[in-house]
Every structure is written in structure tokens, then in C-alpha cells.
Amino acid sequence: MINRGPAANPGREAALHALMHLLAQGRTLTSGLAQATDSIADPRDRALAQELCYGVARWLPQLEALLHRQLDKPLAQRHCDLRIALLLGLYQLVHTRIPVHAAVAETVALAGACRKPWAKGLINGVLRGYLRNRDALMAVIRQQPEAEYAHPGWLIDAMQRAWPQDWDSILVENNRRPPMTLRVNARRSDRSTYLKRLATANMEADAAPHTTHGISLAVPSEVDALPGFKDGLVSVQDAAAQLAAPLLDIKPGHRVLDACAAPGGKTAHMLECAPQLASLLAIDRDRQRLERVPATLERLGLQAEVAAGDAAMPQTWWNGIPFERILLDAPCSATGVIRRHPDIKVLRRSSDIGGFVDHQAKLLEALWPLLARGGLLLYATCSVLPQENTAQIARFLAQHPDARERAMDAPWGRSVGPGRQILPGADGMDGFFYALLEKQE
């Protein structure tokens, strides 16, 4: 934990704390930022903290390369807070429109917040040095793929192997800010009506392509400022994730399983689309994340059975009655949502992928017996790596004669046989993979 010293800008100091959680402790930005901004009252300072720490995470390999070229030797680990302050300063100078004098002065002030007043000269010197030598430094950076694309080397290699024609555009899209996309609650309103409410509130928005209830905001907003959010009119959900519920083709009277449900966005969407279900069971083994599901459903005026359980061990929670529909939104590398969660580039390792693949295979094997004859299982990931997607499903189909792929005649994504893949940024959507499996009669 950083010792507090002379006052610094609350947003920048919060960003410093959040990045310490990420870079020193290996915790997600979501958790670190929530803790760091908990006591900040001004929404402008909270917004600044989010912009800065997400921006540093997004461009970290590039910022690290710039910092490395301006230091005689790397900073000792005990000065991790100082290193982060320098990264925050560089990010503001390279990637924001914050005035130079403000970016430099406020970053220098962080030395006091770290109780390292001796470092003020170092911070000022590094930032002024970048400004003096900007063109030469950036020319060097462009010769280093990890710095140029702001991705770790293993991930660049993985994208080049998986998508030889698209890898560079994927990496560029990963570094863009994602749109804020809403899903209108079909039980309480419709898209055209809610678009009018947004217009009345002077919030510019458009219909999200390929969705029936999706809306993309021109400018992101705090959820509490969205008209009717507290009353359950809308939820925040990317357009690609909104494709899951319609793909399942849920009918009245169906029994439905959402096998990895937390935090509950797709659970809610299925209930909004098909209100006359026999039942919907939402399970997840992460009890802390699962706590968010009942709160989400209550806000939206929906009901489902929610239970803690490991989808890979149905004997501990299944009552033996088959489901007509199963959604398996499988844990994955999340390489399709890096633009939304840039800390993935920091936290994920190449060695993690094999573990995800093994776990996904176990989930498929465990859940397939729970599906009724003629039923559908939708396999979904937010990954763009074929070993988690097409290769996973191809192997499953080869090993299960009673399983066949149901083709998705869709205007989105691309057929990758089996399944359909959406690449990051396509039609404004996150990277997602879907495969629809039918159990033969």
C-alpha cells in the first residue's frame, strides 16, 4: 500500500493505487479501481482515475519501452509506485489531450503522494526528456513489435498463427476504447421507445447491429445516469454477448440451464426473451460473482433459480431431469475482450491457455448428458484462439456421434467450421465465438 503524503489530484492518486494492485499484486483493474475510488465523491475524479489506469494497462508495453530508454538503470522493485507514476505521466503525454503543463505538474505531485519527494526531479526530467525527444523515441518504438502494438510477444505470435490475414487489425482493435452498449429489457420496453428516452435526455445513441434490443451510446455514461436503469429498463451488455439468447431458440415450457452464469447478463437476457419457461437454473462455482446474479434479476423484475455449483460436477447439483437448452459460456482466455479489459495483457500468460482448453473440454463432457434428446447446447467463449473454439468443438463432435452442429445462418462473424467467430471490433462488437450443438433424437 502506498503511504500518503502531500495532497495529489484524487483521480491520479486513485489510478496509482489501482495500478499498484495490478502491477505489484496481480489483481484485476476492476477490483483495484473499485477499492481505489471508493471514497472519491466527484464523478470527474473517478472518471479520470478509470481513464488513466485503463490507458496505462492498454499501452503498457509501449510505455515501458519509452521509460526504459530514458532511465540509466531500471528502478528497484521497492520503487514500483514511482515507476507507475512515471507510466501515468507518459500515458498522459503520449495518448491524451491533457495539457502538457498539467500532465507534468500533476505527475510530479505524485512523488509526494508516494512519500518520495526526492523523485520530483526524476519525474520531471523523464517527462521533459520525452517531450524533447518525442519523434526520435517514437521512431525507435515503431521498430519494436511489442511496443508498437502494445501486446506481449506471446500474444502477438498467437494472433499471427491464428489469424494470419487479420492479426494486425485485431491488435489495433484491442487498443481502441470499446463502445458502451445497452440491452433494453424486452419485458418492460422496446428499442425504439428507449432510443427516444435517450434523445430526450440528450444522450446520442444508435441501434446496435445484429441485435433486437441493443443500443450503442455515442459517449459512455455512468449507469446511474441512464434513464430507467434503476427501474430495470436497460442493462449494459456488449452486442456480441446479446446474440446468445436468440441463438438458443428457447420455447415456452423449456427447462434451461445457464451453466457458468455469473454475473448474470445472459441469464437475464434469456428470461427477457422467453418469459414462459418451465424453469431456468443459473449456476456458477464462483460464489462471490454469483451474488451479483440475484441482484441483477431483481432490478430487471425477473426470477430464476440461482445456485452455487461446479458445472463440471453436475452430480452435486443436478436433479436428474434433462434440460431442453443449455448455455455454456465457458471460462476462457478472454482474448476477444482485451479492449474492454486491457489488464488481460498483463495478467494472462501463454501457459494459461492449455488449462482453459482442458477445463472447457471437461465442462462439455460433464454437461452433454444433461441435455435432452433434440435439445440444444450453445457453446460460447469471448476468445479468438482456435484451440479454445473451433478445435475444441471439432474434437467434441468427433468423440460424440449423438452430437451434430446446427448451422447458424447469421449476418455476423465468419464461419470457421465448426462455429462462427466474431473478431474484435467487427460491427462494433467484442470478439466472441459461438457453436450450436444439437443432441440427435
Active site residues: 382
**What does the alpha-carbon distance between residue 402 and residue 72 come to, in Å, rounded to a whole number?**
64
Using CA atoms, how far residue 278 sits from 120, 250, 271, 306, 416, in Å, is 65, 11, 11, 15, 34
**What does the alpha-carbon distance between residue 183 and residue 237 come to, in Å, rounded to a whole number?**
6
Pairing of strands 403-405, 305-308: unpaired
**What does the alpha-carbon distance between residue 280 and residue 261 come to, in Å, rounded to a whole number?**
11
Nearest to 37, CA basis, from 22, 27, 47: 47
**What does the alpha-carbon distance between residue 261 and residue 153 come to, in Å, rounded to a whole number?**
32
The C-alpha angle 438, 264, 184, rounded to 5 degrees, equals: 95
**What does the alpha-carbon distance between residue 28 and residue 249 come to, in Å, rounded to a whole number?**
35
Q: Is the dihedral of CA 192, 249, 181, 162 positive or negative?
A: negative
The angle that helices 292-300 and 265-273 make with each other, rounded to 10 degrees, is: 30
Assess contact for 130 and 137: CB atoms under 8 A. Answer: yes
Using CA atoms, how far residue 21 sits from 2, 34, 130, 214, 352, in Å, is 10, 11, 27, 34, 21
Burial 374-390 (b: 16+ CB within 10 A, else e): ebbbbbbbbbbbbbbbb
Mind giving me the DSSP string for 254-292?
Answer: -EEEETT-TT-HHHHHHHHH-TT-SEEEEEES-HHHHTH
